[in-house]
Structure 1
Amino acid sequence: MDRNGTKDAYQLIIDAIDEGTYRPGDRLVESELADRFGVSRTPVREALQRLETQALLTRDGRSLIVASLSHDQMAELYAVRTELEALAARLAAQHAAREEINVLRDMIAEDRDLLDDARALSRANRRFHEQIHRASHNRYLVQQLGMVHRSMALMATTSLAADGRGPAALDEHETIVAAIADRDGDRAAEALRQHLSTAFEVRLREEARRI
């Protein structure tokens, strides 16, 4: 944490967007955020400026609002995420410790208890993917994936809320972890690519239904 608390304010706002407290189009007011999080306005102001620079917030007149992703932006984001995560899975197959693989397996087992709660399952899904990122043991890749996943928070809904998607996604997670455990980088990368391709397709179908 910085001495003035900037990092804390930034992370608090990111978490609030990620958890759906603030959704695309919602206006963020400096004084309200300071009161909500119990911090002074200066670190909140600096955090908002940083988030605007990262395109997570945008201007609506003089107000800052949570940005939303266009169809093309969502497609571009999935394209980048898919390749980076496939690389993470490939590296995890090479470098993950046995204990890290055990943690991934335990996560899947625990996440099956969350199938009736799409929001909780979405949070668990992020933790699972982040564990694969860490298991790649490549700090630069983890950093880039962190940026991608921050942008993923701008999607107003989770694909895991679609009918039947939760159980299928966890089965796909098992396929990815089995490949990592077998030290088969090619299979792990392909399983991760297929997993995200399916998730993207589900999002597109859900989007089409809302048109």
Structure 2
Amino acid sequence: MAAERGETAGTRVSPYEKIKEAIVSGELAPGQGLVESSLAKWCGVSRTPVREALRRLEQDGLVSWNERGLVVRERSPEEILDIYEARILLEATAGRVAADRRTDHDVRLLRAAAQQCRNADAASPAEMVRANRAFHRAVWQAAHNEPLRDLLERLDLHLARFPATTLSQPGRWEAACAEHDQLVQAIELRAGEKAYEVGYAHFKAARDIKLNLYTEELGRL
């Protein structure tokens, strides 16, 4: 395993965060076995906090058991469909609820987040992903519904295991920014059904691109 990352003087990343980051980034590959003693040595801690971290990661759905023991959860096209089936509905619902519950301050934050997307460097996938994530979190915040936000955070974590971003596909970033603007307008006007429709179409398009990217990735293996 790679040397410890994310540490500064007097600060140590928790085993949970360190292992989660390694799974999401692909440093710990799908299907890779997870041995407490090895992970404890890697994290520089005893086995007890690692055991607790693995328990939490199992609850998160990032690790699972098979005949070899505890492993990083495998990925599949079916999982992409399952995740997006839930995400499309929840994100669309977040837009509709935000249109009903948003404050004037929420609208200002949404406009700023949409502008940040338009200002992002389209040649930088990482910058696009950061701006896009910040925008959608602003929508979640505007909905003022913590259970809904918690569910979306969990789905976002699962999607992070499929690292190829849909935003790098030709024309997608421009289309996404335009859809963001439409969503902000619908929320500002308290047009709940319109916000739902825009959010639904936005994530349905993302699902189709994500499936194509994963299929291409499998074809290269």
TM above 0.5: yes
Q: What is the distance in 2 between the residues matched to 1:36 and 1:171?
A: 44
**What do you get for the CA RMSD once the two structures are aligned?**
2.7
Residue-by-residue CA offset, 1:80-120 (whole Å, 9 max, x unaligned): 11111111100100111111121122122223323211123
Aligned-pair identity in percent equals 36
Which residue among 78, 92, 116 is the counterpart of 2:123?
116
Q: 1:171 and 1:49, CA in 2 relative to 1: closer, same or farther beyond 3 A? A: same
Q: State which drifts further: 127-136 or 64-73.
A: 64-73
Residue 41 to residue 96, structure 1, CA distance change in 2 (3 Å): farther
Show the counterpart of 2:56: 50
Match of 1:71 in 2: 77
Check if 1:86 corresponds to 2:98. Answer: no
Following the alignment from structure 1 to structure 2, what is the Cα–Cα distance between the partners of residues 15 and 132? 25
Q: Counterparts of 1:36 and 1:132 in 2: how far apart (Å)?
A: 38
Verify the 8 A CA contact 1:23 1:156 in the aligned structure 2: no
Identify the match of residue 193 of structure 1 among 196, 200, 212.
Answer: 200
Q: CA deviation at 1:45?
A: 2.2
Query: For this pair of structures, how many residues does the alignment match?
Result: 205
3-state DSSP of counterpart to 1:114:
coil
**Aligned pair partner of 1:161 in 150, 168, 172:** 168
1:148 aligns with 2:155: yes
Deviations 1:169-202 (A, max 9, x none): 1221111111111110000010000000111111
Mapped to 2, the partners of 1:102 and 1:22 lie a distance apart of 40
Q: Which amino acid aligns with 2:164?
A: T
The 1:173/1:13 distance shift into structure 2, 3 A limit, reads: farther
Contact 2:96 2:191 (C-alpha < 8 Å) held by counterparts: yes
- From the CA coordinates, give the structure whose radius of gyration is larger: 2
3-state SS of the aligned residue for 1:203? helix
**Larger displacement relative to structure 2 (153-162 or 179-188):** 153-162
**SS where residue 116 of structure 1 aligns?**
coil
1:178 and 2:185 equivalent? yes
Cα distance in 1 between the residues matched to 2:168 and 2:192: 30
Q: How much does 1:38 deviate? A: 6.0
TM-score (norm 1): 0.82
Q: Indicate conservation of the 8 Å contact 1:162/1:206, yes or no.
A: no
* TM-score when normalising by structure 2: 0.78
Q: Which residue of 2 aligns with 1:103?
A: 109
